[in-house]
A and B are shown apart, each in its own frame.
Chain A
């Protein structure tokens, strides 16, 4: 997504990152109930966003090197969010607050357009994700995700991918072999 790379460059060039942190494997960036309006950029490592429903974890999104990760609901509404954001492996992050970010976006039309494009892409991703959930064949669900995010399978362990694909790790192994 070249707009994301552009945005990262602009933030870099303007020195707007407010904090850099390193979190260990399994540590939580965010837990259920908190408000989190930060935008996180992953320098290296990987994270997952999940919710808990009836004691079961459901991973809904991943982030890995050079991705942004954010609790989008809280970022937009500035209200508490049920999301958990957890490091899958040791991860280093750069952080920019919503306030600083919004000032940047509002500072010129070009940057505003970049952000609009990024949001449009996010919406399209959400629509694809909705179709994922409605796809009843596990093989088809696997193929859809493999096609749009082949890198996922390099970065993220199988057990989390299986959760994301809403199948058991055994089923995923079987599908990958065939």
Chain B
């Protein structure tokens, strides 16, 4: 799949803005509502966001490292890779959110959570915006990053960005569903 780099970047930035706003809205809720779990397996709002924080803790530094060590020149076009595309499409929230298995080290269940989870998420999004800015100077197709589950699989940076956004979207929808249940 081909993208115009400028359009892709604008879309990533806009989606990040929307995600920041979604999470800022959660600040208004009580700590009880934020931690409400409908049942033992369903994640609370804070668990959803903390899960995203765990991913961000891997991906933000990884992306930064790959951008800083890349010698590539920017291009007007980004070509997504087969694996990248597959990851993005699988992660993208469908109409009815299907259950996905979570890797053990990214499972937030059991950790102590409060509103500081929201602060960290917002901080990571601002860092992400910096990374997007930095990426304008290198090539999104030729620069590759590792993924959290395997050092052997590499994604094109453009796909890593797309994947992170899709992943954020997925869990923020999950968080909004949790909010509806919490305020019943």
Contacts and interface: CB of A to CB of B under 8 A. Distances in A.
Contacts, number: 38
A32 B126 contact: yes
A35 B10 contact: yes
Give chain B's interface residue range (CB within 8 Å of chain A): 10 to 19
A34 B14 contact: yes
Given A24-B25, A26-B27, A27-B25, A34 B20 contact: no
A33 B27 contact: no
Counting chain A CB atoms within 10 Å of each CB, the highest count among B10, B21, B27 belongs to B21
Interface in A85-119: none
A27 B25 CA distance: 8
Contacts of B25: 24, 27
A122 interface: no
Contacts of A133: none
Interface string A24-38: 101110111111000
Contacts of A82: 133
Nearest to A82: B133
17 contacts: A23-B21, A24-B21, A24-B25, A26-B24, A26-B27, A27-B21, A28-B20, A28-B24, A30-B17, A31-B13, A31-B17, A31-B20, A31-B129, A32-B129, A32-B133, A35-B10, A52-B126
Interface of A: 23-24, 26-28, 30-35, 52, 82
